[in-house]
Amino acid sequence: MAPEFSDQGQQLVSSLASRTGFSPEAVRQLLLALQRGNGTMAQFSHPEFGGNGQWTRGGMLMIGDMFNDALKARVNALVTELASALGASSPAPMQTSPPPSQSQSSGAMMGFASAPAASIFATHPQPTWYPADLGTPNSSGAQNTTRYAYFAGKRRLAVDVGGRVSLYDTLEHQINGFGQQQGGAGTLTFTSQHGTVDLSSLPEVRGGGDAPGEQVGATQAVAPAKDASGNRSSAQASIIDAIAQLSALKDRGILTEQEFAAKKADLLARI
């Protein structure tokens, strides 16, 4: 099945058809031939191009009407411009995790992957590992078995550690980098306008799970889960620790008294 054209691709076809005098269908067929040849060669067949033809990057072009130099020049100009547009629309390689020797070092910092350039071919959304209602992350990264996605507008940070997803309230932080030392999620840190902050200092608004599960709203929280003995002592201890960490943020001026009181009340309501 031939790939579908995106809106950008349709505009490209229409623009080139208007400027070169070839029909939109002829331009589409040549563009698809280039796509099959990974932008470096094309084998095509269309009456407007003199029948069967072949183009290879570097200047080689053959058309069925081999003695029609004017047509050959027009086809060459069109295919060259299409190849340039196809190459410009291809996504640049995304930055991946550093090599093991670096990623396992203490405090190794993660960068953020940039979104790929818009394609002239339509793309279909892929399932996300974080709650879908969060939208598109402002920044994301991955290191070892841990990956991150930051949503500035909703003040949310999604963290996936070995397939277990957790969601955190980023409070007043504006995240611009992540770090991971050897070990589990307790060693994760991030950087913001307030400096380096440990992940454990952020209130967790959604427990981890094997899959994203249900969608999470901007203020939804889950009740503490019972431990194996049927009591909530472990969850209560975690909440008390979280309140202490919030108090430390308040003392440092990161949280206001009102914000601290609201978060504290929310955490106490879960006990």
Helix (H, G, I), strand (E, B) or coil at 72: helix
86: which 2 tokens? 């196809």
User: Is residue 200 within 8 Å of 206, Cβ to Cβ?
Assistant: no
- How many domains in the chain? 3
127-184 tens-digit pLDDT: 778 888 888 888 877 766 788 888 988 999 988 887 888 899 998 888 877 766 544 4
Helices (H), 45-68: none
Q: Which residues of the chain register pLDDT less than 70? A: 1-2, 88-118, 123-126, 143-144, 179-187, 206-237, 270-271
151 part of a folded domain: yes
Q: What is the token pair recorded at 126?
A: 């892929």
Domain check: are 48 and 108 in the same one?
A: no
Residue 245 covered by a domain = yes
Q: Which helix (H) or strand (E) holds 60?
A: strand 60-63
- Residue whose tokens read 């995790």: 97
SS3 of 130, please?
coil
Range of the domain at 238: 223-271
**Residue 193 counted as domain residue:** yes
